[in-house]
């Protein structure tokens, strides 16, 4: 059997190598659809040569261009049968499976011929028991079920997807589960925690699904060969079965390790550690793999198109329902999935257990019909965890919580009330907090542990955080996937805060696959500035200062004159000189700004 992996840019190289290690295929082909090996000028020739040679060392055949792909397609039904070819590509790929195969394969006729695959998934409602076309999310699950069956069946796994708030949610979950030595993948890095110490396995790593495998690999490399889970004998693959709390999580819920006040440790000190991370938390783009016991959808504040407008973010994130438990923002479920008959059937048949969260009297999407929905009865519970009586301030925000009928992994139905006081300068930030708490309650984590994890008053470095320069407050909203909705919410959050603020807005392009909608942002900024003019604000107030590529691009298209700097540091210095607090909204990876 042959395998074709599409898209080297989004983790296809790692997937191809891991498939080769399974020894299930005669030849692995890798199609470099975006020309990463030949056109990426940001990589030097030595690095490109190393990457290509590394792939060839695993006998992977690289298809560098469309001509190579066409030659490969000519091999189908000539050198091997169409039904002897497995294909995997990212869910957002513009190249579809039917564009490669000469004709559709009748899976029922050939299913029994493939003993390696026909028993792979024993839960027919999760995936078909046999298939030849996989998304990257699905093939990652395929690989991990072979490689890490023992790990997947013995630790809880949480997968987080959504449009915004993924990294913040994962960070909150990390704080909640830090005593369980979590293994983490997020946009802020692949990280392992041991006895409350942080070990950065890899700093600059994307959240493409293939990097879930990479995170397991990185963790395994620091341990000796006997405890290396990736070097154990391959196990017969079957789908992950959620065990009872006593069976599956007995090692994670009884005795916790003692606290250690030191927060960071050099990687060199990891040589003496065991592979005893007791939970894994993975942030993933455009959906989840389904290896998680809990699939989390933060929100869908922009239901953007992918795969040449053939799919949407909503359809990609739906993969989170491949997990048994699903945690999702309540209005997001109502707006995007409450009319999805497949999902409703799964929930009604208890194949999905749904726990939702919301802020009382708040609409994430300004959806009038959602208010009517809240006033109706439904078989599907509405807002299992609700935040209310919120008192926002920059120093500390008070939040009251009420939870009703949260279904936990130990088959308990949880209800109660509690309060926390923590850093939470905006409704978006609060939603991420509620999300993480809902996951924690689903995992039977105590209220005491939850409250303890939210004692920080400074936010998440590299996302939403707060610091001071003298007596001035600086709120940083730095995000590689910054979009118009998140910009609006950040600016609207200033109404809850005291003092005068200068908004410094800008950033870079090409950080993620989805670029910002410039015209929508320009219209919003013009409306925002019109309101200020009507309120008789002066130009001296420095309401908005634009910076960098994004700022330069939108400056000329605005109907208002706005100050612009190429260097954001000049804008920061000017705001400080004018004794203004700063809201710094910047589209970039935090690592590029860490020197400021």
How many structural domains is the chain composed of? 3
Nearest Cα residue to 487 out of 585, 407, 410 = 585
Q: Give yes or no: residues 469 and 407 share one domain.
A: no
In a domain, 424, yes or no: yes
Q: Give yes or no: residues 209 and 281 share one domain.
A: yes
Q: Is 272 exposed, middle or buried (0-12, 13-18, 19+ CB in 10 A)?
A: exposed
Q: Give yes or no: residues 309 and 431 share one domain.
A: yes
What confidence tier does 490 reach under pLDDT thresholds 50, 70, 90?
A: confident
Structural domain including 33 reads 2-143
- CA dihedral sign, ordered 573, 396, 364, 310: positive
Q: Give yes or no: residues 443 and 470 share one domain.
A: no
Q: Give yes or no: residues 544 and 588 share one domain.
A: yes
In a domain, 538, yes or no: yes
Question: Looking at the DSSP assignment, which residues form a beta bridge with residue 123?
Answer: none
Please answer whether residues 581 and 499 qualify as being in contact, where contact means their C-beta atoms are separated by less than 8 angstroms: yes
pLDDT digits (tens, 9 = 90+) for 311-350: 999 999 999 999 999 999 999 999 999 999 999 999 999 9
pLDDT digits (tens, 9 = 90+) for 398-431: 999 999 999 999 999 999 999 999 988 888 889 9
In a domain, 422, yes or no: yes
pLDDT digits (tens, 9 = 90+) for 177-211: 999 999 999 988 999 988 888 889 998 899 999 99
**pLDDT > 90: percent of the chain:** 46
Q: No. of H helices and E strands in the chain?
A: 21, 24
Does residue 538 register a pLDDT over 80? no
pLDDT digits (tens, 9 = 90+) for 48-65: 677 888 999 999 999 999
Residue 178 sits in a domain of what CATH number?
A: 3.40.1190.10
Give the E-state strand segments of 494-534 in sequence order.
501-507
Give the E-state strand segments of 470-534 in sequence order.
472-478, 501-507
Q: What is the rounded distance in angstroms from the CA atom of residue 580 to the CA atom of residue 594?
A: 22
In a domain, 249, yes or no: no
Question: What pLDDT does residue 239 have?
Answer: 28
Q: What is the rounded distance in angstroms from the CA atom of residue 107 to the CA atom of residue 25?
A: 18
CA Rg value for the chain: 25
Please answer whether residues 28 and 20 qualify as being in contact, where contact means their C-beta atoms are separated by less than 8 angstroms: yes
Count of CA atoms in the C-beta half-sphere (13 A) of 513: 20
Question: What pLDDT does residue 499 have?
Answer: 83
Q: Give yes or no: residues 62 and 130 share one domain.
A: yes
Which among 431, 454, 477 is the end of a domain? 454
pLDDT (average), residues 443-459: 86
Q: SS3 for 462? A: coil
In a domain, 367, yes or no: no
In a domain, 66, yes or no: yes
Q: Give yes or no: residues 391 and 481 share one domain.
A: no
Distance of CA 360 to the CA centre of its chain: 25
Q: Give yes or no: residues 313 and 346 share one domain.
A: yes
Q: What is the rounded distance in angstroms from the CA atom of residue 476 to the CA atom of residue 504?
A: 10
Please answer whether residues 118 and 129 qualify as being in contact, where contact means their C-beta atoms are separated by less than 8 angstroms: yes
Q: Give yes or no: residues 469 and 394 share one domain.
A: no
Does residue 240 register a pLDDT over 70? no
Q: Give yes or no: residues 520 and 423 share one domain.
A: no
Please answer whether residues 3 and 85 qualify as being in contact, where contact means their C-beta atoms are separated by less than 8 angstroms: yes
The C-alpha angle 250, 157, 456, rounded to 5 degrees, equals 90
In a domain, 339, yes or no: yes
Question: What pLDDT does residue 51 have?
Answer: 84
pLDDT (average), residues 226-254: 33
Nearest Cα residue to 387 out of 460, 454, 334 = 454
Q: Give yes or no: residues 8 and 46 share one domain.
A: yes
Q: Is 491 exposed, middle or buried (0-12, 13-18, 19+ CB in 10 A)?
A: buried
Which among 112, 143, 174 is the end of a domain? 143
In a domain, 505, yes or no: yes
**H-only helix segments in 196-294:** 210-221, 245-248, 250-253
- Strand-strand pairing, 305-306 and 311-312: antiparallel
Q: What is the rounded distance in angstroms from the CA atom of residue 306 to the CA atom of residue 315?
A: 10
- CA dihedral sign, ordered 506, 510, 513, 516: positive
- Strand-strand pairing, 133-135 and 279-283: unpaired
Which tokens belong to 44?
């030097």
Q: Give yes or no: residues 291 and 161 share one domain.
A: yes
């Amino acid at each position: 059997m042959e395998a074709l992996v599409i898209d080297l840019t989004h983790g296809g190289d790692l997937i191809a190598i891991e498939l080769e290690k399974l020894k299930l295929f005669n030849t692995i082909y890798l199609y470099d659809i975006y020309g990463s090996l030949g056109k990426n000028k940001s990589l030097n020739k030595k690095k490109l040569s190393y990457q290509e040679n590394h792939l060839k060392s695993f006998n992977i055949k690289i298809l560098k261009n469309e001509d190579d792909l066409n030659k490969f397609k000519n091999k189908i039904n000539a050198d091997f049968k169409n039904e002897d070819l497995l294909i995997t590509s990212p869910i957002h790929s513009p190249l579809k499976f039917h564009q490669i195969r000469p004709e559709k394969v009748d899976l029922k006729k050939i299913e029994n011929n493939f003993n390696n695959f026909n028993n792979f998934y024993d839960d027919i409602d999760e995936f078909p028991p046999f298939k030849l076309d996989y998304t990257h999310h699905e093939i990652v699950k395929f690989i991990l079920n072979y490689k890490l069956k023992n790990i997947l069946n013995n630790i809880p796994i949480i997968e987080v997807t959504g449009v915004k708030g993924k990294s913040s949610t994962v960070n909150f979950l990390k704080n909640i589960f830090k005593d369980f030595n979590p293994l983490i993948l997020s946009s802020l890095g692949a990280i392992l925690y041991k006895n409350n110490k942080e070990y950065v396995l890899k700093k600059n790593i994307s959240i493409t699904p293939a990097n879930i495998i990479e995170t397991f690999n990185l963790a395994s490399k620091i341990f000796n060969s006997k405890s290396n889970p990736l070097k154990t004998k391959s196990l017969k693959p079957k789908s992950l079965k959620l065990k009872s709390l006593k069976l599956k999580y007995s090692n994670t819920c009884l005795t916790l390790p003692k606290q250690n006040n030191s927060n960071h440790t050099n990687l060199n000190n990891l040589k003496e550690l065991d592979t005893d991370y007791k939970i894994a938390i993975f942030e993933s783009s455009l959906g989840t793999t389904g290896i998680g016991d809990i699939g989390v959808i933060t929100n869908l504040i922009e239901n953007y198109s992918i795969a040449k407008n053939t799919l949407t973010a909503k359809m990609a994130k739906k993969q989170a329902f491949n997990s048994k438990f699903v945690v999702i923002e309540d209005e997001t479920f109502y707006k995007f999935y409450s009319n999805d008959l497949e999902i409703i059937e799964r929930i009604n048949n208890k194949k999905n257990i749904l726990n939702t969260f919301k802020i009382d009297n708040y609409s994430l999407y300004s959806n009038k019909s959602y208010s009517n929905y809240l006033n109706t009865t439904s078989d599907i519970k509405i807002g299992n965890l609700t935040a209310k009586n919120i008192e926002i301030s920059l120093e500390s925000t008070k939040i009251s919580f009420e939870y009703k009928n949260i279904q936990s992994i130990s088959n308990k139905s949880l209800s109660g009330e509690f309060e926390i006081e923590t850093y939470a300068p905006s409704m978006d930030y609060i939603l991420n907090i509620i999300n993480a708490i809902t996951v924690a309650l689903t995992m039977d984590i105590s209220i005491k542990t939850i409250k303890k994890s939210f004692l920080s008053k400074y936010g998440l470095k590299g996302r939403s955080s707060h610091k001071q320069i003298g007596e001035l407050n600086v709120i940083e909203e730095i995000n590689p996937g910054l979009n118009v909705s998140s910009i609006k919410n950040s600016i609207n959050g200033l109404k809850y805060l005291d003092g005068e603020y200068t908004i410094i807005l800008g950033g870079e392009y090409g950080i993620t696959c989805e670029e910002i909608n410039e015209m929508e942002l320009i219209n919003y900024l013009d409306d925002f500035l019109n309101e200020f003019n009507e309120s008789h604000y002066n130009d001296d107030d420095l309401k908005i200062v634009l910076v960098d590529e994004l700022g330069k691009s939108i400056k000329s298209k605005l109907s208002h004159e706005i100050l612009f700097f190429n260097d954001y540091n000049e804008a920061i210095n000017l705001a400080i000189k004018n004794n203004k607090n700063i809201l710094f909204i910047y589209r970039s990876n935090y690592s590029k700004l860490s020197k400021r």
